[in-house]
Amino acid sequence: MSSPSPAFPTVAFIGGGNMARALIGGLRRGGMAAGRIIVSEPSAASREGLAAEFGVTATADNAEAAAAGEVWVLATKPQVLRGVCEALAPLAQARRPLVVSIAAGITSAQLDRWLGGGQAVVRSMPNTPALLGAGVTGLYATAAVGEAQRALAEALLRPAGETVWIADEALMDAVTATSGSGPAYVFLLAEAMQAAAAAEGLPAEAARTLVVETIAGAARMLKESGEPAATLRQRVTSPNGTTQAALEAFAAGGFMPLVAAAVHAARIRGAELSALND
Ligand SMILES: NC(=O)c1ccc[n+]([C@@H]2O[C@H](COP(=O)([O-])OP(=O)(O)OC[C@H]3O[C@@H](n4cnc5c(N)ncnc54)[C@H](OP(=O)(O)O)[C@@H]3O)[C@@H](O)[C@H]2O)c1
């Protein structure tokens, strides 16, 4: 995992909620000085928590944080971001920060417009395992973002997990539908497997352990073997065996098209939400 260098510029987090905490925690563990991080956050309890846990400066004033930061991380909920950005537009024009947004569904063109235009914007989509440093983030940079700024954005997000650059912003809704919402798909599979195991007579606690460790182990095999999922699946499927019986039941129920329809629905909803915030 790459650590931010001592030369890392001051980073202002606008919004100090769950995702901001995950990113700040990652930066601090990577060795970034607390004095290089400032957070603006309306809740006094959250500000106290951020200051106590990470040693960072926390303020209620977005402009105060933004005035100190060469990098702005926009980490509020998408619904309030327009107002937040418009209030910061004069400062954005004066300072020309690198703007890194983690807000779902807000486009770089919206951000640029709300900030008065001409901004270097990186739009990113992390996911909740970022809270454990086990996330994955899709990143998109506008043409105004230079190489050094791309590296900065990546260094910011890298402590939260893997990063994947996306060349076409139109695909960011597909990123959201895949990895942003994706943890919920895996949790749904876990729920369904636990319920099925219980229906077959296993005690709930045993079912939970069997399911959780199966998913965690299979995920490690996927990651560490580097083999395609289909190859790993075929390897545990002996002809006319138990796994084949299960896979035939999945196919009969339309599992693959069902997953495709679910990811598609998430992508379409992402585009709709983006239009609502315009
Ligand atoms: N959680 C995820 O899985 C995930 C994944 C990818 C992207 N994201 C994106 O990350 C962003 C933050 O999500 P989150 O889960 O961290 O939400 P969150 O915990 O609600 O964090 C948002 C923070 O912004 C604060 N805030 C509200 N209005 C503000 C304002 N005007 N100025 C400054 N701060 C303000 C909120 O304070 P109060 O609570 O006091 O209102 C809250 O602490 C969202 O845009 C979301 O789309 C989240």
- The predicted pLDDT at position 273 comes to 82
Element (H, E) at 73: strand 71-74
Q: Say yes or no: CB of residue 3 within 6 Å of ligand 1.
A: no
pLDDT at 1 over 60: no
Pairing of strands 98-101, 120-125: parallel
> To the nearest whole number, what is the mean pLDDT of the chain?
95
User: Residue range 130-154: average pLDDT?
Assistant: 95
Domain-located, residue 1: no
pLDDT at 2 over 60: no
Closest CA to 19 of 185, 166, 153, 157: 157
Domain-located, residue 238: yes
Cα 46 to ligand 1 centre (Å): 12
For a substitution probing ligand 1, which of 13, 18, 39 has the most ligand atoms within 8 Å of its CB? 18
Tokens encoding 84: 């937040």
Q: Do 165 and 265 reside in the same domain of the chain?
A: no
Q: What percent of the chain has pLDDT over 70?
A: 97
Length of the chain measured in residues: 278
Pairing of strands 135-141, 120-125: antiparallel
- State the CATH number of the domain containing residue 146: 3.40.50.720
User: Residue range 155-178: average pLDDT?
Assistant: 95
Q: Say yes or no: CB of residue 142 within 6 Å of ligand 1.
A: no
Tokens encoding 180: 């942003």
Residue finishing a domain among 105, 134, 169: 169
pLDDT at 80 over 60: yes
Q: Do 161 and 23 reside in the same domain of the chain?
A: yes
* 130 neighbors 161 (Cβ within 8 angstroms): yes
Count structural domains, the chain.
2
Domain-located, residue 17: yes
Question: Quick one: which atom of ligand 1 is closest to the CA of 105?
Answer: 47
- The predicted pLDDT at position 200 comes to 98
Residue finishing a domain among 145, 169, 193: 169
Q: Do 48 and 161 reside in the same domain of the chain?
A: yes
Domain-located, residue 69: yes
Q: How confident is the model at residue 4 (pLDDT cuts 50, 70, 90)?
A: low
Q: Say yes or no: CB of residue 71 within 6 Å of ligand 1.
A: no
Asked whether the whole model's pTM tops 0.75, one would answer yes
Q: Say yes or no: CB of residue 75 within 6 Å of ligand 1.
A: yes
Cα 155 to ligand 1 centre (Å): 21
- The predicted pLDDT at position 272 comes to 87
pLDDT at 105 over 90: no
Residue finishing a domain among 139, 169, 199: 169
> Under DSSP, is residue 96 helix (H, G, I), strand (E, B) or coil?
coil
Could you list the residue range(s) of the whole structural domain that residue 89 is in? 11-169
- State the CATH number of the domain containing residue 226: 1.10.3730.10
Domain-located, residue 116: yes
- pLDDT tens, residue by residue, 48-58: 999 999 999 99
Domain-located, residue 44: yes
Q: Do 198 and 157 reside in the same domain of the chain?
A: no
Closest CA to 72 of 94, 49, 97, 55: 97
